[in-house]
């Protein structure tokens, strides 16, 4: 019996990156996994790969910013499984080249990023939390970022969405814990995903080696699997006394000063 045995889990943005890793981890822990994504090809492939590895996983296409799509997903999960225990709000977007300083950002960029990164959490919680309560309780996990806990220039829209995610997490944690729903947040940074690669495209000034040497005490980037382990823990009863927490998973980057004077051979 795995720690998620008998639990029905929705993972948004499950087609690639952290969401894909979480689908494998949740299924390996015995969960019945439903991944949702707007990318049909990648989503279907991830679900097939998880099943090929012996897990229970299905894919449902969903634009997480559209109420009709989200409601259809929640209804479909209820019809097929009769219960829902976990919602992992993993879907996020960063728009390099469009996001930037607030005085230069187009209204369309603001609307798009907030719709995917923040409104999607509202929609899945709005339609999904009542189903979790009906199922006897469970866990909601949100996704912030280092941009939600420290100031980061040239991505003001993304930063706004992640700061709001943290505040919403805390409010939901207070409101719904008495009804058996825990709400916690993971704030990753420096994770090797397609979105991280895209965020540095066209930035000739970004010195990756210097960043890792001076800003990351871990001297490396994190992996999607490392975040998936945290998500599975929060989804399970192993974290039953954790509620309203923001787990910053960034190798220590956001609490770090200048590492220039620390010996460079400390890599573990």
Comparing CA positions, the residue from 37, 38, 19, 17 lying closest to residue 27 is: 19
Comparing CA positions, the residue from 158, 23, 44 lying closest to residue 101 is: 158
Q: Does the domain made of 8-249 have the CATH classification 3.40.50.300?
A: no
Query: Are the beta carbons of 83 and 135 closer than 8 angstroms?
Result: yes
Written as tens digits, the pLDDT of the chain (268 aa) is 799 999 999 999 999 999 999 999 999 999 999 999 999 999 999 999 999 999 999 999 999 999 999 999 999 999 999 999 999 999 999 999 999 999 999 999 999 999 999 999 999 999 999 999 999 999 999 999 988 998 888 999 999 999 999 999 999 999 999 999 999 999 998 787 766 555 544 455 556 666 665 666 766 778 999 999 999 999 999 999 999 999 999 888 878 755 454 555 555 5
Tell me the CA distances in angstroms from 83 to 33, 40, 133, 162, one per residue in order.
12, 24, 9, 29
**158 among known catalytic residues:** yes
Of residues 88, 122, 158, 241, which has the active-site annotation? 158
**Which sequence spans correspond to the domains of the chain?**
8-249
Spatial CB neighbours of 251, under 8 Å, sequence gap ≥ 6: 189, 190, 216, 217, 218, 220, 221, 222
């Amino acid at each position: 019996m795995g720690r998620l045995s008998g639990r029905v889990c929705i993972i948004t943005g499950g087609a690639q990156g952290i969401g894909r890793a979480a689908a494998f981890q949740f299924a390996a822990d015995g969960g019945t996994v439903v991944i949702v994504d707007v990318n049909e090809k990648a989503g279907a492939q991830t679900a097939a790969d998880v099943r090929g590895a012996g897990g229970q996983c299905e894919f449902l296409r969903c634009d997480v910013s559209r109420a009709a799509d989200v409601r259809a997903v929640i209804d479909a999960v209820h019809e097929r499984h009769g219960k829902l225990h976990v919602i992992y709000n993993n879907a996020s977007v960063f728009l390099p080249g469009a996001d930037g300083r607030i005085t230069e950002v187009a209204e369309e960029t603001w609307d798009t990023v907030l719709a995917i990164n923040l409104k999607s959490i509202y929609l899945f919680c709005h339609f999904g939390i009542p189903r979790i309560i009906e199922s006897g309780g469970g866990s909601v996990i949100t996704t912030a970022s280092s941009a939600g806990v420290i100031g980061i220039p040239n991505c003001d829209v993304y930063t706004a969405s992640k700061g709001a995610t943290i505040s919403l997490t805390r409010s939901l944690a207070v409101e719904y814990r008495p009804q058996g729903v825990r709400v916690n947040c993971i704030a990753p940074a420096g994770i090797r995903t397609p979105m991280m690669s895209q965020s540095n495209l066209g930035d000739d000034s970004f010195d990756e080696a210097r960043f890792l040497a001076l800003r990351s005490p871990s001297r490396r980037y994190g992996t999607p699997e490392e975040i998936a382990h945290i998500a599975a823990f929060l989804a399970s009863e192993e974290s039953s006394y954790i509620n309203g927490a923001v787990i910053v998973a960034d190798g220590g980057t956001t609490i770090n000063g200048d590492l220039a004077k620390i010996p460079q051979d400390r890599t573990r």
